[in-house]
């Protein structure tokens, strides 16, 4: 089978690897679509993502969907032919959490994740034509949801987790700073949860147009004007430390900022005085827990993610796809990993 493998910084290859054989508690999935994420780009460009550094070649990809082609002997609740996506996280050890963190498995200290070099050996991702997956990590897609849409379930779960961190957003006015794929999905998740008015802000006109298509009610071009001020709830989705001062200023006194953009793990300069003088609540948001199930259900209920998908490439063109995903003229870039099942054919594929 073909797989998209990062061998080191700047060294991405489409390798031939043996077809997987399922363990008793696994299924083999023919992967159809894979979405390129910021961590995939980081491994490709730098050979590391955050503190996780490559020590040997690794298959990339954790935003994936496909259909089951083989069942392990002990798997009884899934079927060959089912269209599926995944919970990419596997807890290591006993899985027990302190009572104060009950249910917050995204904060469990030892987690293997598709396409992550956090452990050695690394955990291969899903950018391959076939992958063996533990049955408990499989999530069947609802009727009417294509695997192309299902590949967006993982980042949608990240967005839904962030929205959930803010509490009830129904009827509220919200600012979202940063309209990359996660920011645009936060907008969609906010509207799905009943937010009344969502203001989308970014420096990139292309990103703002995607945000509008994903449900933003108002656009702010930060290349021309500043963030609006005095809003009760702000989501920071750019991950740019230099934006923090303006984001905190945008929040009303006593307001809330949800930090979903991944901030650098090194020292940065940022203006944070308003955090104290305006008594702002600054909430972190990391990955997701049970929200992968909420995301799958939301897709089945009609939450639209198609405008987010701006480019599609064949697996052989993975490096070109990565370059496009790293540009300012794309949002979510998908890889077509293998032949799609009936009803999931793409309208077009760029190459």
Decide: 184 and 238 in contact? Cβ < 8 Å. no
Return all residues near 225 (Cβ < 8 A) that are at least 6 apart: none
pLDDT tens by residue, 198-238: 999 999 999 999 999 999 999 999 999 999 999 999 999 99
- What is the Cα gyration radius of the chain? 20
Q: Does domain 2-152+305-336 correspond to CATH entry 1.10.150.120?
A: no
Query: Which of 166, 173, 186 is closest to 230 using CA atoms?
Result: 173
Decide: 6 and 60 in contact? Cβ < 8 Å. yes
Residues of the chain with CATH 3.40.50.720: 159-284
User: What do you get for the CA distance between the two ends of the chain, in Å?
Assistant: 20
Query: Which of 5, 13, 9, 3 is closest to 44 using CA atoms?
Result: 9
Tokens representing 123 are 């955990």
- What percent of the chain stands above pLDDT 90? 93
CATH of domain 159-284: 3.40.50.720
Residue 340 pLDDT level (bands cut at 50, 70, 90): low
Q: Look at strands 231-236 and 251-259 and give their pairing.
A: parallel
pLDDT the model gives residue 265: 81
pLDDT tens by residue, 72-119: 999 999 999 999 999 999 999 999 999 999 999 999 999 999 999 999
pLDDT the model gives residue 269: 87
What's the predicted TM-score (pTM) here? Answer: 0.95
Residues of the chain with CATH 3.90.180.10: 2-152+305-336
Instruction: Say whether pLDDT at 60 is over 80.
Output: yes
Tokens 């303006």 sit on residue: 246
pLDDT the model gives residue 341: 56
Mean pLDDT computed over 324-339: 95
Please give the distance of CA 185 from its chain centroid, rounded to a whole number. Answer: 9
Tokens 């009417």 sit on residue: 144
pLDDT the model gives residue 350: 40
């Amino acid at each position: 089978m073909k797989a998209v493998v990062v061998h080191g910084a700047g060294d991405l290859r489409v390798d031939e690897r043996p077809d997987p054989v399922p363990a008793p508690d696994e299924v083999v999935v023919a992967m159809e679509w894979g979405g390129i994420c910021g961590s995939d780009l980081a491994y490709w460009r730098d050979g590391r993502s955050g503190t996780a550094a490559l020590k040997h070649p690794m298959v990339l990809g954790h935003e994936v969907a496909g259909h089951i082609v083989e069942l392990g002997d002990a798997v009884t609740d899934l079927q060959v032919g089912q269209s599926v996506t995944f919970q990419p996280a596997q807890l290591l050890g006993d899985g027990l959490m302190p009572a104060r963190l009950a249910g917050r498995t995204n904060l469990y200290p030892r987690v293997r994740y598709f396409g992550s070099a956090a452990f050695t050996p690394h955990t291969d991702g899903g950018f391959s034509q076939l992958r063996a997956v533990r049955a408990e990590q499989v999530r069947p897609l609802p009727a009417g949801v294509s695997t192309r849409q299902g590949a967006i379930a993982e980042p949608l779960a990240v967005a839904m987790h962030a929205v959930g961190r803010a509490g009830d957003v129904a009827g509220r006015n919200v600012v979202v700073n940063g309209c990359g794929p996660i920011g645009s999905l936060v907008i969609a998740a906010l509207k799905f949860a009943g937010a009344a008015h969502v203001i989308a802000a970014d420096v990139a006109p292309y990103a703002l147009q995607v945000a509008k298509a994903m449900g933003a009610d108002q656009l702010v071009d930060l290349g021309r004007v500043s963030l609006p001020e005095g809003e009760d709830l702000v989501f920071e989705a750019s991950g740019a430390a230099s934006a923090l001062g303006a984001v905190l200023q945008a929040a009303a006194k006593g307001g809330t900022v949800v930090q979903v953009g991944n901030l650098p793990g090194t020292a940065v300069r940022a203006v944070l005085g308003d955090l104290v003088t305006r008594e702002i609540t600054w909430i972190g948001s990391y990955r997701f827990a049970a929200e992968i199930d909420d995301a799958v259900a939301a897709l089945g209920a009609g939450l639209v993610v198609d405008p987010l998908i701006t480019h599609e490439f064949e697996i052989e063109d993975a490096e070109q796809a990565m370059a496009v995903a790293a540009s300012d003229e794309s949002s979510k870039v998908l890889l077509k990993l293998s032949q799609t099942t009936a009803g999931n054919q793409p309208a077009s594929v760029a190459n």
